[in-house]
Structure 1
Amino acid sequence: MTTLFTPYPLRSLTIPNRIWMAAMCQYSALPDGERAGVPTDWHFAHLAARATGGTGLIITEGTAVSPQGRISPYDLGIWNRTQVDAFRRITGFLKSQGTVAGIQLTHAGRKACTERPWVDGGRWLTPDEPHCWTPVGPSALPFSAASAVPEELSRERIGGIVQEFAAAAERALEAGFDVAEIQGAHGYLIHQFLSPYSNHRTDEYGGSFKGRTRFALAVVDAVRRVWPDDLPVFFRISATDWLAENPEDHREGWTADDTVRLAEELQTRGIDLMDVSTGANVPDAKIVPSPGYQVPFAERIRTEAGMPVAAVGLITEPAQAQEIITSGKADAVLLAREMLRDPYWARRAATELGAAVATPVQYNRARR
C-alpha cells in the first residue's frame, strides 16, 4: 500500500517521502540595491528547519524571474549571479539532509507591489512610491479597486517574459535546484492570461481557450528546453476561479474543466506533476474553506487527465494526509501554514503513523 512515507520517483530523482512543503512568501529580502532579491539568513534558517524536520521536497517561496516580476519588493529573485550564489548555500544544506530542493519561478503580473503583510496590512503600493513599479498584465485591468492599473503587455514584451522564465530556470539549475515549478496559479501573471475574468485580449493571446493558454504553454516550452531531461518540472495551477461553483455568480472565469484540459496538454510538453491549488484571481469570489477542500480538484486531474498531482489546502493532520495518498486522490501532499506552525510535521506524522524519516546525525544520542 502506498503511504506518506513511500519514496516517490520522478525522472532521475527519488523524493524520500510524500510530505512536501509548498511555496510560501517570507517578504524578507532587501527591496533594492546589489542584494535585492537575495536569500538571507532568515531564508536559510526557515528552509533548513523543514529539511531537518524530515520534509521530502521543499519548494522555495515564489521567486521572481525579474525585478518587475516580484509580488512585493521584498521577495526573492533569481535574475542575477548574486542570487544564484546565495541560493547555493541553501540547496546544498537541503540536499545534505536528504531533502529535494525545488524552486517556484514566478511573475506577479498585475498583483505586483504589495507591502509586507505586517506593515499597513499588506496594502497595495503605488508606482510612484519607493521600491514600486508599474505592474503589467494581459489586459489593463487592476486586481482590485486598491491596486494599480497594469500596463497591457505587448506581444514583444510577452516574448521577453517567456525568455525571462527560461533564463531564470537556467540560473536555478546553477543554484543547485532539482525541481523547477512554474507558478501558474493564485492570480499571478500566467493565471491572469489563463482566465477570461482577467484576460480581455482580442489577439492570439486572448479569447479562446487556445489563445488564453498560449502564454502558459510558451513558458512551459521555454523552461523545459533549458531544464535537463532527467529532472522534473512542475506546474502550479489554480484549478478554478471559484465562479462556476457558485450558481449565483454568472461571471466567466477559469474552471475545473479548463484545468483538466490544460493538464492533458501540459503532459505532452514535459510537465511531470501538477501542484493543485485554487482561486486568488477574483478578489470577491465566494470560497468556503474546509479541511482538504481543494483535494477533489487534484483527484479529478489525476483521474481524468492521468497526471501525477500534489494536493494542498488545509491538510493538517497525519491521518488526513495518509488517507489522501492511500486512497489515490493525490501522489503527494503539500503543506503550507501547517508547516509554518510545525517545522517537524513530517517527524510527528511518522511517530503517529508508525513510520520513520531520516534523522540528522547530530540528533542521534551522543557517546557519553
Structure 2
Amino acid sequence: MSALLFAPYMMRDLTLANRIAVSPMAQYSATPEGHATPWHLMHVGNLAVSGAGLVIMEATAVEPRGRVSTRCLGLWTDAQAEALQPVVAFCRDHSKAALGIQLAHAGRKGSVERPWEGNESLPPEAGGWQPVSSCDLAYPGRPVPQMLTIGEMAAIQADFVAAARRAAALDFDLLELHAAHGYLLNCFLSPLANRRNDSYGGDLAGRMRWPLEIFAAVRAAWPAGKPIGVRISATDWAAGGWDADDSVAFAVALKALGCDYVTASSGGITPAQAIRVRPGYQLPFARRIQQEAGMPAMAVGLLHEPDLAEQALQDGAAELIALGRGMMWEPRWAWHAAEALGATAPFPPQYARSHPSMRFGDPGKAFAERGR
C-alpha cells in the first residue's frame, strides 16, 4: 500500500505535494512595530525546504491589541506586509511548499512578556495594553479584560478582512483563522469565557455567531480559488466547557460558509484543564469532525511517529497531518518519514548530496526521485 502521507492533496485550486503541514508556531521575534525580521526569513525558509507540502506561518495579529507580546508579528499595516515580502520571496524561489499564514487576535491572553522573559502580564505603563475579550471575565492570573462592544467587534472584524487582503496581495496560498487556545475567537466560543447576555453569548448559536461572521467576511475577501481553514480547540478539557459535540456543530456551520478544513487542536481556555497528553491524543477529535461534519480535518498533537501519522490518514481520522514543535526539533522530519514509509519527499537541489540514496554512490538517483 502506497503511503498516503506522501500523496498529493487538493483544496480548491491548491494542490499540496503531500499531506504534511507545518503548524503555525509563535516566534516572538518581530520588531516592536510587528515587522518580520531576519529570524523569520531563517525560520520560515528552513521549514519551507523541510519536505512538507504546506507551511503555515505563525499567528499574525490583525491589530495591535491582537498580539500576545510586544514582539509578535502583525499584518495591520502595509509596512508589515512589505517586511514579509522577502520571506515569501525566499520560499517561492527555493521551495515548492505551499505557504499559508494564520490570522489571530490574542484577546484576554494578550499583553504579556515573551515566554523566555517570564510570560508575565505587561501593564500599559510598561509597554503593554488593556486586553479585550468577549466579556470581563479574566483568564486566571491575568488582568480583567475590557468587554468588547458591538461597534468594537465590527472594527476587529474589519481588521481581519484587511489583514486577509494584505495576505492575498502577498500571494499566500492559504489562510487559517485562529479560534483556539484561549484567544479572542475561542473566548467567544467557550462558555467558560463568554458570559455575554446579548446575541453573541448564551447558547451555542449565540457563542458561534461572531466567529462565523468573521469567517464569512474573510472568506468573501479572500480569493475564491484559495483555501481557508480554522484552528479550533476541539475541547476545553474542563467541566462545563466547549466539547467535541460543539466542535462538530461548529465545523458543520463553517462548512456551510465555505471552510476548507478544520485543525483539531484543544485546550487553552483555562489552566484548570485536565489533559492526558500522549501520542495521537487529539486524533479522536479530528476523526469526529471529519466523519460527522464531513469537514476535512488537519490532525495535530504528538504525531511524530511516521507510522502513527500514516495510520491516521489510512483510518480516515484526518486528511492532513500537522507538526509544530516536532518540526522545529527535527526540520527534516518529512525526509526521514519518507525513508521509513518507502516514499519520497521534496528537497532543494543544494541538499541532494545528503539524500540517503547518495550513501550507495548513485548521485543521480536523488535528483530522479526529487522529480517524481
TM-score by length of 2: 0.92
Instruction: Report the 3-state secondary structure (helix = DSSP H, G, I; strand = E; otherwise coil) of the residue aligned with 1:183.
Output: strand
Matches within 5 A, 1:41-52: 41-52=38-49
Q: Say if 1:88 and 1:176, in contact at 8 Å, map to a contact too.
A: no
Distance in 2 separating the partners of 1:187 and 1:154: 19
TM-align CA RMSD: 1.3
Identity %: 44
For structure 2, which runs of at least 5 residues remain unmatched after alignment?
354-362, 365-372
Aligned to 1:228: 223
Aligned to 1:117: 115
The superposition leaves residues 220-267 of structure 1 with CA deviations (integer Å, 9 ceiling, x where unpaired) of: 011001001100000111001112xxxxx4xx2111101101111100
Distance in 1 separating the partners of 2:89 and 2:334: 20
2:5 equivalent to 1:4: yes
Aligned-pair distance for 1:331?
0.3
Distance in 1 separating the partners of 2:88 and 2:97: 9
Aligned to 2:214: 219
Aligned to 2:15: 14
Aligned-pair distance for 1:176?
2.0
Aligned to 2:360: none
The superposition leaves residues 22-47 of structure 1 with CA deviations (integer Å, 9 ceiling, x where unpaired) of: 0110011122xxxx111111111111
Aligned-pair distance for 1:318?
1.2
Instruction: Report the 3-state secondary structure (helix = DSSP H, G, I; strand = E; otherwise coil) of the residue aligned with 1:85.
Output: helix
Aligned to 2:359: none
Q: Residue type of the partner of 1:361?
A: P
Q: How many residues align?
A: 353
Alignment partner for residue 82 of structure 2, among 76, 80, 85? 85
Q: Residue type of the partner of 2:191?
A: P
Aligned to 1:275: 263
Distance in 2 separating the partners of 1:354 and 1:74: 42
Aligned to 1:153: 148
2:362 equivalent to 1:357: no
Aligned-pair distance for 1:55?
1.3
Matches within 5 A, 1:170-181: 170-181=165-176
Matches within 5 A, 1:86-101: 86-96=83-93, 97-101=95-99
2:177 equivalent to 1:182: yes
Aligned-pair distance for 1:315?
1.1
Q: Say if 1:2 and 1:325, in contact at 8 Å, map to a contact too.
A: no
Q: Residue type of the partner of 2:224?
A: D
Aligned-pair distance for 1:359?
2.0
Distance in 1 separating the partners of 2:352 and 2:332: 16
Aligned to 2:306: 318
Distance in 1 separating the partners of 2:168 and 2:61: 15
Aligned to 1:194: 189
Alignment partner for residue 71 of structure 2, among 51, 71, 74? 74
Instruction: Report the 3-state secondary structure (helix = DSSP H, G, I; strand = E; otherwise coil) of the residue aligned with 1:200.
Output: coil
Matches within 5 A, 1:319-338: 319-338=307-326
Aligned-pair distance for 1:2?
5.9
Alignment partner for residue 291 of structure 1, among 265, 269, 279? 279
2:140 equivalent to 1:139: no
Q: Say if 2:3 and 2:310, in contact at 8 Å, map to a contact too.
A: no
Aligned to 2:357: none
Q: Residue type of the partner of 1:137?
A: S
For structure 1, which runs of at least 5 residues remain unmatched after alignment?
244-248
Q: Residue type of the partner of 1:53?
A: S
Which range is displaced more, 78-87 or 232-241?
78-87
Q: Say if 1:64 and 1:106, in contact at 8 Å, map to a contact too.
A: yes
Segments ≥4 residues shifted beyond 4 Å: none
Instruction: Report the 3-state secondary structure (helix = DSSP H, G, I; strand = E; otherwise coil) of the residue aligned with 2:168.
Output: helix
Instruction: Report the 3-state secondary structure (helix = DSSP H, G, I; strand = E; otherwise coil) of the residue aligned with 1:47.
Output: helix
Aligned to 1:108: 106
Aligned-pair distance for 1:209?
1.1
Q: Say if 2:62 and 2:75, in contact at 8 Å, map to a contact too.
A: yes
Aligned to 1:54: 51
Q: Residue type of the partner of 2:44?
A: L
Q: Say if 1:346 and 1:357, in contact at 8 Å, map to a contact too.
A: yes
Q: Relative to structure 1, is the Cα distance of residues 306 and 2 closer, same or farther in structure 2, using a 3 angstrom cutoff?
A: farther
The superposition leaves residues 205-225 of structure 1 with CA deviations (integer Å, 9 ceiling, x where unpaired) of: 101111111110111011001
Aligned-pair distance for 1:172?
0.7
Q: Say if 1:92 and 1:176, in contact at 8 Å, map to a contact too.
A: no
